[in-house]
């Protein structure tokens, strides 16, 4: 064992020892050889086969001075243009034997003006898996006594804690596909940044609340999604809580949401549409929209340009109402109602799409399409119903427009017959009046004849 200590008295002063002299000295020195104080300069190689204890500071490298000035805390200094440390493992085959090198700064002439760095190199693989670049900020990497890692902080509060004054982020780059994403805290929001396209498709704001987005296994099935609920009951379950609009689907730029619709679909592109489509190959009636309410469910249709609004709802009765946009249902005017018995109540007039009128309504007058009275009566009694009106069976459906047209035709025929009958009656009345006048004259003449005979 060799011990060198310059702070104690020494028994031998060595100013300079050549390589040969030193080796000779080493061959004759005792196994326990102690050199105290003073400077020892060795210009050749030094090989120590036993333990070596260096009680003071050490400088190694071509840049070391004699004497070297050290800071109080320095024990070992490597001073050279190439201050590398190699770890060469000479283990036998079958044992770990990777050689490593600690690299300090780029020194190869090819990389002149290269990077100031502290790196660990895998000499066998020729890779540099770990590097700290010169000028790295304080607390760039910190591992505390709980195994928690801090990046930018010396007080990590989780297994991985990233701190930055402005934009803490994690970048995920698929270099083979030229595609890069970042998970970032941007403007006090958590988001995903599509770096390649400069887009932020996903954001979470502070105070967003619990269970904003929950993906569950649905108990025993495939994944289901809950929005505002931790227990989604279907493929997509939306719980709005205190928000008046639970689901807003829109295209365009808008301000605040108007109204209190749980589901709100709007666009300024002229393309707003809600479609429910069943594409089954089998033809069958199906319920595609089912509205249930503790009271009459209603559908509202408003015209924002005119301010008019209609609503229709069903329950016991089917009711159609009208009012201004935003008017409460109870304040709207009821215009149409269908009752459970099938009766319809209409507040205004009814206008149909027209009728063929059987024999042709007003054509009775314009084209003189008139059935002779005797033929009309014969047809009526033979068919058991008015011509052009058709049969009207009890409790059987009927075409109101066609029936009304036929009734008008029958009524017009009746008026024609009445007019003709009136003309006949008038002629007969004139004839009766003439006969009465003639009879009165004859009666007068007879009376005068009787008087003359008495004379």
Least Cα distance to 70 among 62, 84, 60 occurs for: 60
Dump pLDDT digits (tens) for 121-147: 999 999 999 999 999 999 999 999 999
Residue 29 has pLDDT above 50, yes or no: no
CA–CA separation, 195 and 203 (whole Å): 15
Q: Which residues does 297 contact at the CB level (< 8 Å), separation at least 6?
A: 291, 313, 314, 315
DSSP summary character for residue 166: S
CA–CA separation, 130 and 93 (whole Å): 27
> CA of 378: how far to CAs of 371, 372, 387, 409, 410, in Å?
11, 10, 10, 17, 14
Least Cα distance to 225 among 245, 250, 247 occurs for: 247
44 pLDDT band, cuts 50/70/90, is confident
CA–CA separation, 88 and 121 (whole Å): 12
Q: Each residue of 206-226: b (16+ CB within 10 Å) or e?
A: eeeeeeeebebebeeeeebbb
pLDDT at 23: 40
380 close to 389: Cβ distance less than 8 angstroms: no
pLDDT at 9: 38
CA–CA separation, 168 and 187 (whole Å): 10
Percent of the chain having pLDDT more than 70?
A: 82
Summary mean pLDDT of the chain: 83
Q: What is the pTM of this model?
A: 0.58
Taking the mean position of all CA atoms in its chain, how far away is CA 396? 53
Residue 288 has pLDDT above 80, yes or no: yes
Higher per-residue pLDDT: 442 or 454: 442
38 pLDDT band, cuts 50/70/90, is low
Least Cα distance to 360 among 413, 397, 399, 400 occurs for: 413
> Which region among 44-58, 109-123, 242-256, 262-276 has the lowest average model confidence (pLDDT)?
242-256
CA–CA separation, 341 and 104 (whole Å): 96
In the three-class reduction of DSSP (H, G, I as helix; E, B as strand; rest coil), residue 437 is classed as helix
Pairing of the two strands 189-194 and 199-204: antiparallel
What sign does the dihedral 148-149-150-154 (CA atoms) show?
positive
311 pLDDT band, cuts 50/70/90, is very high
Mean pLDDT, residues 71-93: 93
What sign does the dihedral 183-186-188-192 (CA atoms) show?
negative
Least Cα distance to 190 among 180, 200, 201, 205 occurs for: 205
Dump pLDDT digits (tens) for 189-239: 999 999 999 999 999 999 988 998 999 886 655 788 888 888 888 788 888
CA–CA separation, 171 and 149 (whole Å): 17
Higher per-residue pLDDT: 18 or 200: 200
Taking the mean position of all CA atoms in its chain, how far away is CA 413? 69
167 close to 174: Cβ distance less than 8 angstroms: no
Residue 384 has pLDDT above 50, yes or no: yes
For residue 67, whether the previous peptide bond is cis, meaning omega lies within 30 degrees of 0, is: yes
351 pLDDT band, cuts 50/70/90, is confident
Higher per-residue pLDDT: 454 or 259: 454
> Which region among 8-17, 219-228, 325-334, 400-409 has the lowest average model confidence (pLDDT)?
8-17
Instruction: List the end-to-end C-alpha distance of the chain, in Å, as a whole number.
Output: 204
* Dihedral pair phi/psi, residue 436, rounded to 5°: -65, -40
Our separate counts of H helices and E strands in the chain read 4, 26
Q: Which residues does 417 contact at the CB level (< 8 Å), separation at least 6?
A: 373, 376
Residue 409 has pLDDT above 80, yes or no: yes
Mean pLDDT, residues 393-406: 82
CA–CA separation, 26 and 21 (whole Å): 8
Residue 425 has pLDDT above 70, yes or no: yes
Give 316: exposed, middle or buried? Use CB within 10 Å, 0-12, 13-18, 19+: exposed
pLDDT at 359: 53
CA–CA separation, 291 and 390 (whole Å): 41
pLDDT at 155: 98
CA–CA separation, 200 and 213 (whole Å): 18
E strand or H helix at 40: none
Higher per-residue pLDDT: 253 or 17: 253
Higher per-residue pLDDT: 381 or 11: 381
pLDDT at 258: 54
Dump pLDDT digits (tens) for 52-65: 888 889 999 999 99
* Dihedral pair phi/psi, residue 371, rounded to 5°: -80, 135
Mean pLDDT, residues 42-71: 88
Residue with tokens 């365009």: 252
Mean pLDDT, residues 405-416: 84
CA–CA separation, 252 and 98 (whole Å): 61
pLDDT at 440: 93
Residue 78 has pLDDT above 80, yes or no: yes
Mean pLDDT, residues 296-312: 90
């Amino acid at each position: 064992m060799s011990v060198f200590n310059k702070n104690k008295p020494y028994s031998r002063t060595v100013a300079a020892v050549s390589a040969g002299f030193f080796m000779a000295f080493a061959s004759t020195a005792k196994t326990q050889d102690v050199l105290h104080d003073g400077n020892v300069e060795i210009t050749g190689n030094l090989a120590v086969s036993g333990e070596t204890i260096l009680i003071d500071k050490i400088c190694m490298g071509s840049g070391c001075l004699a004497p070297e000035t050290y800071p109080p805390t320095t024990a070992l200094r490597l001073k050279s243009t190439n201050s590398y440390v190699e770890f060469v493992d000479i283990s036998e085959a079958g044992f770990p034997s990777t050689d490593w090198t600690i690299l300090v700064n780029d020194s190869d002439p090819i990389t002149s003006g290269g990077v100031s760095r502290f790196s660990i190199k895998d000499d066998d693989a020729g890779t540099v898996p770990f590097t700290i670049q010169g000028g790295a900020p304080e607390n760039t990497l910190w591992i505390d006594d709980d195994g928690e890692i801090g990046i930018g902080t010396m007080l990590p509060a989780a297994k991985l804690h990233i701190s930055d004054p402005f934009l803490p982020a994690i970048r995920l780059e698929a270099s083979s596909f030229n595609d890069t994403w970042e998970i970032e805290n941007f403007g006090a929001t958590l988001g995903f940044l599509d770096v390649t396209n400069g887009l932020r498709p996903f954001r979470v704001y502070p105070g967003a609340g619990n269970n904003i987005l929950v993906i569950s296994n649905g108990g025993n099935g495939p994944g289901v999604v809950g929005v505002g609920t931790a227990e989604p009951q279907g493929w997509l379950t939306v719980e709005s809580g205190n928000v008046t609009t639970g689901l807003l689907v829109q295209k365009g730029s808008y301000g605040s949401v108007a109204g209190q619709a749980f589901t709100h679909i709007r666009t300024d592109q002229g393309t707003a549409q809600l479609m429910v489509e069943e594409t089954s190959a089998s033809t069958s009636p199906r319920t595609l929209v089912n509205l249930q309410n503790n009271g009459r469910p209603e559908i509202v249709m408003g015209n924002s340009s005119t301010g008019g609004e209609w609503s229709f709802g069903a329950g016991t009765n089917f009711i159609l109402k009208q009012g201004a946009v935003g008017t409460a249902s109870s304040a709207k005017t009821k215009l149409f109602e269908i009752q459970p018995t099938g009766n319809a109540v209409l507040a205004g007039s009814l206008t149909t799409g027209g009728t063929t009128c059987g024999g042709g309504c007003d054509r009775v007058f314009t084209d003189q399409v008139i059935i002779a009275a005797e033929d009309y009566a014969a047809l009526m009694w033979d068919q058991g119903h008015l011509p052009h009106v058709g049969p009207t069976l009890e409790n059987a459906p009927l075409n109101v427009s066609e029936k009304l047209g036929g009734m008008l035709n029958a009524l017009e025929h009746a008026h024609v017959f009445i007019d003709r009958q009136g003309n006949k009656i008038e002629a007969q009345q004139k004839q009766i009046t003439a006969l009465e006048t003639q009879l009165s004259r004859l009666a007068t003449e007879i009376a005068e004849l009787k008087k003359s005979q008495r004379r």
